[in-house]
Amino acid sequence: MNKILIAPSILSADFSKLGQEIKDVQAAGADWIHVDVMDGHFVPNITIGPVVVKSIKPVTKLPLDVHLMIKNPEDYVESFAKAGADIITFHIEVEEDPKEIIRLIKYFKKKAGISIRPKTEVKRLETILPMVDMVLVMTVEPGFGGQEFMFDCLPKIEEVRKVFKKDIEVDGGVNESTAAEVIKSGANIIVAGTSVFGAKDYAQAIKKLRGGA
């Protein structure tokens, strides 16, 4: 089985001291830093762009896992790649040809991920699975941190795992109790916003997500 990795989502960090928050989760044992990019069109919220990715890059040695919840992701792949993104994930629900976007991400020598919203069927991913390094299964409707985990998305993780041997990341409402279900279903990368940055002790929170006591 692939190693379990924990990717705290900075969406739930204190942005007035973002650099320190990132250093703190790194010291607490985080494996990746998850960066949620929202444009107010693909999802009803606006967050951050390449400028922030560029500023946080020198602060951490951890891979920057950039989750694009935006329309026209192909217009921004270059900016995020040059800003320091290591993994670039976009949504299958965008209007453009996903294969072209994956080729563009690969052209910039970054890992490519594809994400699916809770209502999207796994079979939509079929033809592009051989091209991607990671599948990101959403377990909330994308747009906001702090939402309730959708248990009816668990079978989708199993469905992806049956046909995909590389990384499966799960994002939305994952806490110490839902993390175990997510891992059992076949995921190996856990995104956690509230359950890490909302905790008093980041190291303890990360350990619990990984399955430790």
Whether 171 is catalytic: yes
CB of 23 to ligand DX5, least distance (A): 19
Instruction: Choose among 202, 177, 187: nearest CA to 136.
Output: 187
Structure-token match 């800003």, residue found: 83
Q: How far apart are the first and last CA of the chain?
A: 21
CB of 7 to ligand DX5, least distance (A): 9
Q: Which is closer to Zn ion, CB of 66 or CB of 154?
A: 66
Q: Which is closer to Zn ion, CB of 67 or CB of 208?
A: 67
Segment interacting with ligand DX5 (CB under 6 A) among 83-91, 100-108, 160-168, 191-199 = 191-199
Residue among 31, 36, 39, 167 flagged as catalytic: 36
CB burial of 169-196 (b: ≥16 within 10 Å; e: otherwise) equals bbbbbbbbebbebbbebbbbbbbbbbbb
Instruction: Choose among 174, 98, 178, 180: nearest CA to 135.
Output: 98
Instruction: Choose among 186, 188, 190: nearest CA to 205.
Output: 190
Query: Quick check: 192 binds ligand DX5 (CB under 6 A)?
Result: yes
Instruction: State the residues that interact with Zn ion by CB under 5 A.
Output: 36, 67, 171
Query: Quick check: 171 binds ligand DX5 (CB under 6 A)?
Result: yes
Half-sphere exposure of 201 (CA within 13 A, CB side): 6
Query: Quick check: 55 binds ligand DX5 (CB under 6 A)?
Result: no
Q: Which is closer to ligand DX5, CB of 67 or CB of 110?
A: 67
By CB under 6 A, the count of residues binding ligand DX5 is 21
Of 72, 79, 120, 194, the one binding ligand DX5 (CB under 6 A) is 194
